[in-house]
A and B are shown apart, each in its own frame.
Chain A
Amino acid sequence: MTKNVTENKPVKGKNIDETTGVETTGHSWDGITELNNPLPRWWLWTLYACIVWAVGYTIFYPAWPMISGATSGTLGWSTRGAVAQDIADHEAKNAQLVADLVAADLPTLAPGDPLHRYAVARGGAVFRANCSQCHGSGAAGALGYPNLLDDDWLWGGDVASIAMTIDHGIRNDTDPDARWSQMPAFGDILSKPEIASLVTYVISLSATVEDRAQAAEGAVLFSENCAACHSDDATGNRDMGAPNLTDAIWLYGGDTASLTQTITQARFGVMPAWGQRLSDVDVDAVAVYVHSLGGGEQAPE
Chain B
Amino acid sequence: MSTPSLYAPREPIFPRRVSGTFRRLKWWILALTLGIYYITPWLRWDRGPGMPDQAVLVDLANRRFYFFWIEIWPHEFYFVAGLLIMAGLGLFLFTSALGRVWCGYTCPQTVWTDLFILVERWIEGDRNARVRLHNAKWSAHKAWLRSVKWTVWLAIALATGGAWVFYFTDAPALLGNLLNGTAHPAAYITIAILTATTFVFGGFMREQVCIYMCPWPRIQSAMMDPDTLTVAYRDWRGEPRGKGKRTDPNVPNTHVPDLAQALHAGTDPVATKGDCIDCMACVNVCPMGIDIRDGQQMECITCALCIDACDDVMDRIGKPRGLIDYMALTDEPRERAGLPPRPIWQHILRPRTIIYTLLWSAIGVGLVYALFIRSPIELTVSPVRNPTYVVQSDGAIRNIYDVRLRNKSLSEAEFRLSLTADTVLRIDLEGNADRDVIVTVPADTSLTQRVYVTARASDPAATAHDTALRFWVEDASTGDRASQATTFNGRVQ
**Chain A contacts to B: CB under 8 angstroms:** 1-6, 13-15, 23, 25-27, 36, 38-44, 110-111, 136-138, 140, 147, 149-152, 244, 247-249, 292, 294, 296
Contacts and interface: CB of A to CB of B under 8 A. Distances in A.
Contacts of B9: 40-41
Given A1-B13, A1-B14, A42-B208, A249 B393 contact: yes
Interface in B381-398: 384, 386-387, 390-395, 398
Interface SS of chain A: helix, strand, loop or mixed?
A: loop
B340 interface: no
B384 A36 contact: no
Contact of B11 (A1, A15, A244): A1
A1 B10 CA distance: 11
A114 to B, nearest CB: 13
Contact of B400 (A27, A152, A294): A294
Counting from the closest, the 10 A-B pairs by CB-CB distance are: A138-B386, A247-B393, A38-B8, A140-B387, A248-B395, A111-B431, A41-B7, A152-B393, A149-B390, A26-B1
A42 to B, nearest CB: 7
Contacts of B387: 136, 138, 140, 149
Given A2-B283, A294-B400, A38 B393 contact: no
A26 B294 contact: no
Contacts of A151: 392-393
11 contacts: A26-B1, A38-B5, A40-B8, A40-B208, A40-B212, A41-B7, A111-B431, A149-B398, A150-B392, A247-B393, A248-B393
Contacts of A25: 3-4, 6
B390 A26 contact: no
Interface residues of B, number: 40
Interface string B189-208: 00000000000000001001
B452 interface: yes
B184 to A, nearest CB: 16
Contacts of A5: 294
B432 interface: yes
Interface string B374-415: 000000000010110011111100101000000000000000
B233 to A, nearest CB: 13
A34 B216 CA distance: 27
A294 B390 CA distance: 10
B289 interface: yes
B394 A247 contact: yes
B4 A14 contact: yes
Contacts of A41: 7-10
Nearest to A25: B3
A140 B14 contact: no
Interface string B1-40: 1111111111111100000000000000000000000000
Contacts of A38: 4-8
Given A27-B3, A150-B398, 4 more contacts: A15-B1, A41-B9, A249-B392, A294-B390
A36 B400 contact: no
A138 B389 CA distance: 11
B179 to A, nearest CB: 28
A292 B14 contact: no
Nearest to A38: B8
A138 B8 contact: no
A160 to B, nearest CB: 16
A147 B431 CA distance: 17
A136 to B, nearest CB: 8
Nearest to B289: A1
Nearest to B431: A111
Contact of B7 (A1, A39, A150): A39
A36 B4 contact: yes
A44 to B, nearest CB: 5
Interface in B269-321: 280, 283, 289-291, 294
B393 A296 contact: no
A138 B388 CA distance: 10
A40 B384 contact: no
A27 B387 CA distance: 73
